[in-house]
């Protein structure tokens, strides 16, 4: 069998591009194929950027990409434009010309897999025959099957940028409670828009720690957002110039609807089912079956990113791409490990997590110790007037870190200490004994970890009696 490439990467996303670069640096022959439609949802003010740079803007589910919450519509438009331009400029480092200089064949065409006479990716001008293929597609908002939704009309993360081009609505209903929906709710309520957040889940952010989700919900309600949990949407319709969201118990009138029900990968048209790639169904569409080596059911085709569901996070997709490249180019012996990979969302307060939630930890272990410290108890929080939130760490009695959850200022930066500890099998004592800078926000990590030391001392009656004898003798 004559091979054109060692690896063909399908998808011009950041993880896909980095996978292609990593493979090329290992002297592999690499092609990067990006379907032109991958960038069709780019904001209007990003015109002039190339397709690969533009696609990068949608690698993250965030709307503002970490920019401060705006106070009015012009400030929102500026924040969106600045974020877009900044991310587009980052894409210049991975332009087609730069990639070509690394020996990567960049092909901006759509293609589909064909099984015969041999597995190949068929594009307009040629067939790409490779030993292995890596799916690294972009993603789009998943649209729930709600009667009347398509005819009534709605906004998604991809079309939200058009929101700033006209008059703001007086009210909006957000269906779903994914992080981008919560971020949008907090943006819009600050612009004076009446916001309703409707989810069928028992809590917002259903994958996150219940205590963290409850605090976020309390903040949403304090902001004036109507939060309805355990509330499935039965139908949507237009009536007398308004959009009506019908639930089991009430009808909610609004001017606009935003869908925040998760994401699905852009893999339509790749003809994957004809080459042995199997899927499984979910309420929001099909997902690709991947094993721990990130192989699909066709062992020559690998995948990374949002293919199998979950949050579409760049750092997770990067990790998956690294594993997939190693397995595709060498022997498939590396397995993906999500233990110790942190993630964060741009809510207010910011939320970050690594490892297990408290319910997950208690289901697996019978010696879980919960450590909790609040930002109002540290000097950095008081001085910066950022006292909302907490640091919660789940450990076993021997000090093994099972998970950490930070809700508050700088959470996406602070979480890395615990992630590093988990990845390197460090005990929580390592963080407790590290002198943190005072008065920084990072001090909350040390103070939370020190609670484990205090608890261990309190439970150790032998050591307490020994100390009592020692000091009585010295006196």
- pLDDT per position as a tens digit, 324-373: 999 999 999 999 988 899 999 988 899 999 999 999 999 999 999 999 99
Please say whether the beta carbons of 161 and 43 come within 8 A.
Answer: yes
Counting residues of the chain whose pLDDT is more than 70, the rounded percentage is 89
Q: Are residues 240 and 156 in the same domain?
A: yes
Residue 121 CA, distance from chain mean position: 29
Bridge partner residues of 235 (DSSP): 246
pLDDT (0 to 100) of residue 59 = 55
Residue 298 CA, distance from chain mean position: 27
Q: What's the CATH number where 135 sits?
A: 3.50.50.60
- Domain finish residue from 221, 240, 261: 261
Q: H-helix or E-strand containing 213? A: helix 210-222
Please say whether the beta carbons of 18 and 36 come within 8 A.
Answer: no
In sequence order, which ranges of 66-178 are alpha helices (DSSP H)? 73-91, 96-101, 149-152
Q: Note whether residue 472 is domain-resident.
A: no
pLDDT (0 to 100) of residue 105 = 94
Confidence at 48, pLDDT banded by 50, 70, 90: very low
* CA neighbor of 56 nearest in space, from 104, 31, 89, 7: 89
pLDDT (0 to 100) of residue 61 = 55
Confidence at 394, pLDDT banded by 50, 70, 90: very high
Q: Are residues 137 and 268 in the same domain?
A: yes
Average pLDDT of the chain, as a whole number: 87
Rounded Cα distance, 281 and 301, in Å: 20
Q: List for the chain the helix, strand, coil content (%; round to 5).
A: 35, 25, 40
Q: How many domains does the chain have?
A: 3
Confidence at 39, pLDDT banded by 50, 70, 90: very low
Q: Are residues 276 and 133 in the same domain?
A: yes
**Sequence-ordered list of residues with C-beta below 8 angstroms from that of 222, at least 6 positions apart, any chain:** none
Q: ∠ CA 399-404-408 to the nearest 5 degrees?
A: 135
Q: What's the CATH number where 379 sits?
A: 3.30.390.30
Binding residues for NAD(+): 176-183, 262
Binding residues for FAD: 111
**Over 70: is that where the pLDDT of 119 sits?**
yes
Return contacts of 449-455, CB within 8 angstroms, 24+ apart. Answer: 449/371, 449/393, 451/371, 451/372, 451/373, 452/369, 452/371, 452/393, 452/395, 452/399, 452/428, 453/429, 455/369, 455/371
Rounded Cα distance, 370 and 271, in Å: 48
* CA neighbor of 121 nearest in space, from 17, 270, 18: 270
Handedness of CA 29, 35, 41, 43 (dihedral sign): positive
- Domain finish residue from 316, 336, 356: 336
> Over 364-424, what HEC string results?
HCCCEEEEEEEHHHCHHHHHCCCCCCEEEEEEECCCEEEEEEEECCCHHHHCHHHHHHHHC
Q: Which domain holds residue 48?
A: 5-141+264-336
pLDDT (0 to 100) of residue 50 = 36
Say whether 265 sits in a helix, a strand or coil.
strand
**Over 50: is that where the pLDDT of 45 sits?**
no
Q: Note whether residue 225 is domain-resident.
A: yes
Q: Are residues 86 and 219 in the same domain?
A: no
For 431-475, the DSSP string reads HHTS---TTSTTHHHHHHHHHHHHHHHHH-HHHHHHHHHHHHHH-
Q: Note whether residue 471 is domain-resident.
A: no
**Over 50: is that where the pLDDT of 109 sits?**
yes
Rounded Cα distance, 101 and 24, in Å: 10
- pLDDT per position as a tens digit, 134-164: 999 988 889 999 999 999 999 998 887 666 6
pLDDT (0 to 100) of residue 451 = 94
Please say whether the beta carbons of 219 and 69 come within 8 A.
Answer: no
Ranking 56-65, 162-171, 406-415 by mean pLDDT, the lowest is 56-65
- pLDDT per position as a tens digit, 206-218: 989 999 999 999 9
pLDDT (0 to 100) of residue 54 = 37
pLDDT (0 to 100) of residue 266 = 87
Binding residues: 111, 176-183, 262
Rounded Cα distance, 60 and 57, in Å: 7
Where on the phi/psi map is residue 254: left (φ > 0), alpha (ψ -120 to 50), or beta? beta
* CA neighbor of 256 nearest in space, from 230, 236, 229: 236
Mean pLDDT for 74-90 is 73
For tokens 């480092």, the residue is: 93
Q: Note whether residue 469 is domain-resident.
A: no
pLDDT (0 to 100) of residue 421 = 96
Rounded Cα distance, 223 and 258, in Å: 18
pLDDT (0 to 100) of residue 427 = 96
Mean pLDDT for 163-177 is 84
| Whole-structure pTM value | 0.86
For tokens 């008065």, the residue is: 439
> Who has greater pLDDT, 179 or 63?
179
pLDDT (0 to 100) of residue 55 = 40
Mean pLDDT for 409-422 is 95
pLDDT (0 to 100) of residue 437 = 92
- pLDDT per position as a tens digit, 50-81: 333 334 444 555 666 566 667 677 777 777 77
Q: Are residues 417 and 451 in the same domain?
A: yes
pLDDT (0 to 100) of residue 42 = 37
> Residue 349 — φ and ψ, nearest 5°?
-70, 155
Please say whether the beta carbons of 372 and 379 come within 8 A.
Answer: no
Q: Note whether residue 182 is domain-resident.
A: yes
> Who has greater pLDDT, 1 or 83?
83
> Who has greater pLDDT, 45 or 94?
94
- pLDDT per position as a tens digit, 427-471: 999 999 999 999 999 999 999 999 998 887 777 777 777 878 888
């Amino acid at each position: 069998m004559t091979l054109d490439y060692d690896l063909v990467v399908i998808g011009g996303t950041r993880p896909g591009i980095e996978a292609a670069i990593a493979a090329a640096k290992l002297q592999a022959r690499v092609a990067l194929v990006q379907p032109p439609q991958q960038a069709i949802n780019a904001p209007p003010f990003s015109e002039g950027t190339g397709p690969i740079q533009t696609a990068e803007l949608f690698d993250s589910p965030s709307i503002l990409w970490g920019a401060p919450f705006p106070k009015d519509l012009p400030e929102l438009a500026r924040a969106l434009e600045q974020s877009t331009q900044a991310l587009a400029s980052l894409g210049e480092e991975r332009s087609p010309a730069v990639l070509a200089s690394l020996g990567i064949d960049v092909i901006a065409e759509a293609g589909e897999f064909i099984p015969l006479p041999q597995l190949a990716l068929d594009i307009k001008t040629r067939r790409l025959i490779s030993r292995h293929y890596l799916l690294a597609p972009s993603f789009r908002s998943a649209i729930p099957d709600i009667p009347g939704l398509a005819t009534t009309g709605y906004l998604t993360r991809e079309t939200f940028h058009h929101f700033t081009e006209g008059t703001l609505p007086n009210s909006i209903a957000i269906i779903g409670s994914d992080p981008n929906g919560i971020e949008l709710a907090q943006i819009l309520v600050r612009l004076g828009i009446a916001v309703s957040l409707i989810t069928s889940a028992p809590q917002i952010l259903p994958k996150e720690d219940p205590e963290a989700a409850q605090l976020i919900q309390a903040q949403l309600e304090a902001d004036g957002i109507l939060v309805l949990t355990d509330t499935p949407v039965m139908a949507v319709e237009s009536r007398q110039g308004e959009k009506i969201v019908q639930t089991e118990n009430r009808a909610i009138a609004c001017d606009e609807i935003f869908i925040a029900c998760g994401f699905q990968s852009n893999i339509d048209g790749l003809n994957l089912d004809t080459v042995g790639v199997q899927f499984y169904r979910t309420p929001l569409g099909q997902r690709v079956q991947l094993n721990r080596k990130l192989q699909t059911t066709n062992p020559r085709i690998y995948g990374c990113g949002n293919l199998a569901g979950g949050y579409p996070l760049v750092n997770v997709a990067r990790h998956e791409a690294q594993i997939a490249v190693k397995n595709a180019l060498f022997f498939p012996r590396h397995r993906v490990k999500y233990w110790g990979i942190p993630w964060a969302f741009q809510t207010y307060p910011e939320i970050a997590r690594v490892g297990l939630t408290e319910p997950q930890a208690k289901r697996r272990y019978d010696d879980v110790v919960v450590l909790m410290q609040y930002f109002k108890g540290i000097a950095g929080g008081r001085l910066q007037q950022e006292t909302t939130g907490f640091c919660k760490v789940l450990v076993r009695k021997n000090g093994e870190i099972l998970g950490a959850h930070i809700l508050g200022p700088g959470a996406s930066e602070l979480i890395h200490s615990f992630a590093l500890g988990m990845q390197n099998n460090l005990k929580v004592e390592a963080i407790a004994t590290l002198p943190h800078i005072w008065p920084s926000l990072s001090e909350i990590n040390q103070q939370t970890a020190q609670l484990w030391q205090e608890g261990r001392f309190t439970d150790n009656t032998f050591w307490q009696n020994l100390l009592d004898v020692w000091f009585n003798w010295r006196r």
